[in-house]
Structure 1
């Protein structure tokens, strides 16, 4: 795939990372996505959309065609590798005019797609859906990071494992493009001891001992705590991270301060009840991570459309497609 508007790998930063906090080198993030995984995902999405006969192919035929991708709402562009993979499966080629992580100001000409008419339209809706959702997550992540940085806080804004089944890789990638930390990708990325684990184990101390035995030296252990006492018990047993869940800001910061005074090397994560509007209230000197499930659960999709145009004609944006 050509990239007519991109920059050399490592050149472009969506956000100034400073010395701490979230770091997002958008031009290199595609390297995280294995080509085989991208191809398999793209094939499964296309199979879902057209598991049998493609009746509309008889309408369009197989003549060489071209279309323009328009961005029709503001936000952050994210998901180019998935868009490319979908159209590669459909035997089409994509030429990009904007790099990953670009700030979109509508109406913006983002890319061109070329290929047989029936193939181009076969990939159209699947590719648009994926790009719209990924860009929506990136846009929300960017807004959350900006809100946190506006307070002077330099910790990590993160997503959660509250993702769409079958679409987690896209949403986690969108978080990264938006400048947020993806948090653990799956159950094997971090030993997270939640309240139900504590209940099943018979207490915080027993739960942490079991987690430490499983994690050994290779994985960190994080423990969800609902009180200062639980947090202190978890830290005493060797927890690396303490998740203070559903604490109000006026409770969160004093609790984190006491915990850090006793265990300065333990990381503190705040989560639960945090929105883009109240996020600044959770930023503080004793908080290392703020995680928001809404970044993947409730991010509105951006509006993109794909418009076919005749050879030699001037492409123009068109109304939103269904």
Structure 2
């Protein structure tokens, strides 16, 4: 299978901004200095190190790891590309520089690489399951990300072949249950959104019942999110929209409690998107290590 990353199209943050954020990660870990390394490792000693992936993984986070090591004055040469699938005990990068600097940046780099690779790996695994069943449903992330890490989590999803979904509240109008509760009704919430929105913004409506989904489609929603619906109810919505001639006028997103065990049950019904919060909030980090392989002077 060929996995096309959408990172180049949607996830280009200027290097200066990204470097500033990553510098903050380093400051959080290093504090006033790595006292253990400063006591043991002589100043000026040059080393060569490798980052080893210890399990099957889709690699993500190489650009960020490069920035981390460059900030402390070391060089970072990747042996693979973002999105590559690697086997256990693969060396994915070579780092050269002062031993003190490399050891001080080690944990920050490994944490980000491990987390991003874990998210990319889980995303790829779910997409492969969908594709092997002969289905072409888009797998998307949600905003269920750790504060401060959303860019990295969403980029990892994209590297894994998924869609990052909206990044922030200003990306798209998404009318949820609490908006409807305050507005008084789905009709009133959608009416307000339609009357004031920019032409450039789509409207998505979260529907928790079959009736609300059909109502949202009739009222002009662009996307309908079927939230926490059973397989039976999702089928009812899609069948009803087809009968009403509305299915091709809206995108259908299925969300809520989607797992590896039930994703094919939902995908087989023909939604356009399945969003899975677990690919960012519950993905297992990939086991990696940084190993000093040579003292160069």
Normalising by structure 2, report the TM-score. 0.93
Does structure 1 retain, via aligned residues, the 8 Å contact 2:5–2:83? no
Structure 2: which 5+ residue stretches go unaligned? none
Q: Are the structure 2 counterparts of residues 30 and 134 from structure 1 closer, same or farther at C-alpha, using a change threshold of 3 Å?
A: farther
The equivalent position to 1:257 in structure 2, one of 221, 236, 239, is: 239
Are 1:271 and 2:251 matched, yes or no?
Answer: no
Aligned to 2:117, which of 108, 115, 135? 135
Post-superposition Cα deviations, 1:145-193, rounded to whole Å, max 9, x if no partner, equal 0111122221211110100111111100000010011110111111111
Match of 2:161 in 1: 179
1:306 maps to what in 2?
290
Tell me whether 49-58 or 123-132 shows the greater mean CA deviation.
49-58
Point out which structure has higher relative CO (alpha carbons under 8 A, 6+ apart).
Answer: 2
Instruction: Identify which of 209, 214, 220 aligns with 1:238.
Output: 220
Which stretch shows the higher mean deviation, 147-156 or 190-199?
147-156
Residue 257 of structure 1 contacts residue 286 of structure 1 at CA under 8 Å; is this kept in 2?
Answer: no
Determine the C-alpha separation between the residues in 2 that align with 1:91 and 1:30. 29
Asked whether the 8 Å contact 2:210–2:236 carries over to 1, the reply is no
Equivalent position to 2:39, from 41, 58, 75: 58
Contact 1:29 1:177 in 2 (8 A): no
Match 2:273 to one of 289, 294, 301: 289
Change (3 A) 1:29 1:57: farther
Deviation, 1:253, is 1.4
Cα deviations by residue, 1:54-113 (Å, 9 ceiling, x for unpaired): 312232123121101101011100111111111111111101111111111011111110
Residue aligned with 1:310, SS: strand
Q: Deviations over 1:253-298 (max 9, x none)?
A: 1212212443121111101111012110101354111010000011
Distance 1:304 1:216, change over 3 A: same
How far apart in 2 are the matches of 1:297 and 1:258? 33
Between the two proteins, the alignment pairs up a number of residues equal to: 292
Instruction: Write the mapping of 1:1-322 to structure 2, written as runs, cut at 5 A.
Output: 15-16=1-2, 23-24=4-5, 28=8, 32-55=12-35, 56-60=37-41, 61-262=43-244, 263=246, 264-311=248-295
Which structure carries more helix by proportion?
2
CA RMSD of aligned residues (A): 1.8
Partner Cα distance (1:25, 1:230) in 2:
33
Relative to the length of structure 1, the TM-score reads: 0.86
The residue aligned with 1:9 is none
Q: Secondary structure at the match of 1:273?
A: coil
Paired with 2:130 and 2:117, the residues of 1 have a C-alpha distance of: 20
